[in-house]
Structure 1
């Protein structure tokens, strides 16, 4: 007999909900033959798109080429939850963990980035279903209350418009028997349609004169003195500057992977809720939500009234681009069970879509920069979440470093240093397997699992 989670996955489409649209743009032509450019951007996700737009807006005469291995938004940028915030370092608490001395400056940069994010969307008329609904972090059981209190204290101390909710107030916002309290950050955060945002940025880049080539995977990069030569499947580009916006795919130089590991994040969307189901859960204010489980879950409502529920991590040795296993029900059954435990009043609902997306795990959990070929190539990546809006910031700083601009932020620690080294395969896969097993049982079983997660945290990964 099938479990309730298995039943709910019987008719699921294993493809990102955001990308499953009739209005998806047709891909641009692939690069064929040789060309030159003043600037080459490798990667057509958010970072690459933001970089191309900012480069052209700063200098309309600059010849900018952007190449994408697949189609725009089909890597990671069409797959996330789509919650946006002012953080540029994977959340305020993570910024405090890694760069406590720069916290005030990073906060200011984050608010400036969000203003620029909004301005660009308005200036280019990008329709991305952007809703400024705020975001909540909810305590799952009373064990999560200290973490929520700490988040409230930190956000309040840094001037955020936040409200601390007790169990009843939290359930009035979003009704789950698991939720014992929450922090609601009200301003400059909310939810967006990830694919529509990426496609809108794509259109804006083309309108500015960016030369876009899709279906053009980079096959190699060579330093040729004053320029670098980048080879694609069917073409070559000669350029004095390359911005590598390949995030979890870590393409551009084999050393990038010594600091970046690709982890898969799983996501479900339900079928559209009925009026009765919407009444049963509340959620009238449509906030983006994170919870305090060790195997963290996040959730939001889609524009057409579905629940998106994500957060179970997985790792595959050698980081395949699109693992076949994640196109089957098995990796999603525990996530589905967590959904029904969170919302028992929705038992019987079906999941319309299930997919995984690649995130870049580093010891910082946030964007960093690596320099290659005498500074002619810069890698800008490392987003482990919070990247929908922070990618604009990463693109701006990456471009400044590539162009040799002397900005205050390019001299800050986050821009001038790299995350710690990560062991190679097969040790990476072994460590990941143990860590995923520990995450799965830490909240309910503890024991060696908590000890292992504490060790991983001391090594620099804040997983517990």
Structure 2
């Protein structure tokens, strides 16, 4: 069974069939991967050069990966400002924060222009504290954004925070209007429809089995070969499995979600009536938002870690953390504690060392490009990824192709089994630390020190 969002979005009777590739074909640009990254890249290539012959292959169906099962929170890179500044300098950090906000608005504009009904609501986001230890944790980055003239956040009075968030568990909150929520499955399938309308050739059920450099590049599949002048790889969490050189560039970790059956009247009673997303200040954050049909979706990152970057069977099953998420939902919303859950699910997220995606030229070649490592927060940034990859594929000289984001991975995780065992050790330390803080207790010193390894790369995100 497909994850909830994708199952809700699929409409076989009204969707064009994209059959598997059979035989050998030629194209200008071959895109591998039918999620947000691949589809936005295809759309931007066709917008720049409508006559360009673009062919996209997808191993499953478009949106079967993270694009069809994420939390639906389209967030900017404002909260990542310190990481951006440390890695890229002030000017580029400021530019990327601004561009990340532009992308969120641009997604909404594109959906409106092309009649993609994906429940897009640009109602903003709330970054909150849910215990005393979290209070003030956002102040420094807000101050830095303010100094650079790019701050979209405002501190709200506590009663206003609790009203907008629908829960009195929150202790403080900062609101930014530069954020949206979407039904992610409907968005990715809508992008697929528009890509087909613009002439992109799409073959679902077509996995890449190998890639051979050259002019043209040869992308081999089970039943055919694509010969392309240029290739764009948008495999995300599957990239490290296909290309050994990226084996230590990302860690594969789950984000787990639950969604209730419709309960619009109970939601109205809580006050959570808009499409606002709410995120607490944990390292492995809780995040939630409602849906237009009166459901509540709640998720939490940083749960299941995969050894060696493997795609575990659990990633395609109901969340093993369902009971924990159900209990957490009831803690945030006591009135919803007895509302049945419609579904739970999880999926693999490609967590980079920096918490940011990275892009580049595969093996130094000038005609094969890649981008991945969105670290669980790709709904908005994948739109930027499409701009980067389409610019690279077209050989453009612009701010995207000159960005340090295109220099490849900026760090590596330790080799296995150190990476896996270390990830579990840090994850469990974070859990103990935050459990103690929830109870008003002082965490163990060792847990605090270990938790800093996770915090150094930024929060485990939610989009």
TM beyond 0.5: yes
Q: 1:27 to 1:300 in 2, by over 3 A?
A: farther
The 3 A distance-change label for structure 1 pair 264 and 113 is same
Is the counterpart of residue 294 in structure 1 residue 292 in structure 2?
Answer: no
Aligned to 1:430: 421
State the partner residue of 1:19. 6
Query: What's 1:193 paired with?
Result: 183
State which of 229, 245, 249 in structure 1 corresponds to 2:218: 229
Match for residue 452 of structure 2?
454
Q: Choose 206-215 or 374-383, whichever is displaced more.
A: 374-383
| Runs (5+) with no aligned partner, structure 2 | 437-442
| Residues 270 and 350, structure 1, Cα contact 8 Å, conserved in 2 | yes
Deviations 1:380-422 (A, max 9, x none): 1111133112111112112222332211332222223532012
Equivalence for 1:315: 305
The alignment partner of 1:126 has SS state of coil
- Secondary structure class of the residue paired with 1:37: strand
CA distance in 2, matches of 1:166, 1:380: 40
Comparing 260-269 and 111-120, the one that deviates more: 111-120
1:439 maps to what in 2?
Answer: 430
The 3-state SS of whatever aligns with 1:51 is: helix
Candidates 331, 344, 355, aligned match of 1:354: 344
| Partner of residue 156, structure 2 | 165
* Rounded Cα–Cα distance in structure 2 between residues aligned with 1:422 and 1:31: 36
1:113-161 CA-to-partner distances (Å, cap 9, x unmatched) read 3444333223322222111111111111222221233344344443444
Q: Does 1:257 align with 2:247?
A: yes
Report the Cα distance in structure 1 between the residues aligned to 2:394 and 2:406, rounded to whole angstroms: 14
TM-score by length of 2: 0.89
Q: CA RMSD in A?
A: 2.4
CA distance in 2, matches of 1:153, 1:347: 37
What is the aligned partner in structure 1 of residue 394 from structure 2? 403
User: How many residue pairs align between the two structures?
Assistant: 446
CA shift, 1:444, in A, is 2.4
SS across alignment from 1:411: coil
Task: Give deviations 1:352-386, integer Å, cap 9, x for gaps.
Answer: 11000221101121221132252221111111133
Q: Distance in 2 between matches of 1:67 and 1:320?
A: 22
CA contact (8 A) 1:221 1:229 kept: yes
- Alpha-carbon shift at residue 218 of structure 1 (Å): 0.8
The whole-number CA distance in structure 2 between the counterparts of 1:387 and 1:424 is 26
Contact preservation (8 Å) 2:212, 2:218: yes
- 1:80 has 2:67 as partner: no
For 1:109, what is the secondary structure of its paired residue? helix
What displacement does 1:343 show? 1.9
* CA distance in 1 between partners of 2:309 and 2:132 (Å): 37
User: Relative to structure 1, is the Cα distance of residues 114 and 328 closer, same or farther in structure 2, using a 3 angstrom cutoff?
Assistant: closer
Partners of 2:69 and 2:346 within 8 A in 1: yes
Give, in angstroms, the shift of residue 95 of structure 1: 3.0
Flag the 1:122–1:253 CA change in 2: closer, same or farther, 3 A.
Answer: same
1:185 Cα deviation after fit: 0.6
Listed as ranges, the gaps of 5+ residues in structure 1 are 1-13
313-322 or 257-266: bigger deviation: 313-322
Task: Report what 1:375 is aligned to.
Answer: 366
Map 1:47-446 → 2, pairs under 5 A: 47-87=37-77, 91-101=80-90, 102-157=92-147, 158-186=149-177, 188-223=178-213, 225-250=214-239, 252-275=242-265, 277-313=266-302, 314-321=304-311, 323-324=313-314, 327-328=317-318, 330-373=320-363, 374-445=365-436, 446=443
Q: SS of the counterpart of 1:336?
A: helix
> C-alpha distance in 2, partners of 1:36/1:378?
18
Question: 1: CA distance between counterparts of 2:79 and 2:220?
Answer: 33
2-structure distance, mates of 1:173, 1:23: 34
TM-score normalised by length of structure 1: 0.89
Partner of 1:4: none
The DSSP-based 3-state class of the residue aligned with 1:129 is: coil
Q: What whole-Å deviation, never above 9, does each CA across 1:31-62 have from its counterpart, x for those lacking one?
A: 11111111010000000000011111111111
Q: Distance in 2 between matches of 1:92 and 1:283?
A: 29
- Are 1:90 and 1:384, in contact at CA under 8 Å, matched by a contact in 2? no
Flag the 1:76–1:417 CA change in 2: closer, same or farther, 3 A. closer
Cα deviations by residue, 1:276-321 (Å, 9 ceiling, x for unpaired): x224421123311111123311000112111100014211224443
Range moving further from structure 2, 305-314 or 415-424: 415-424
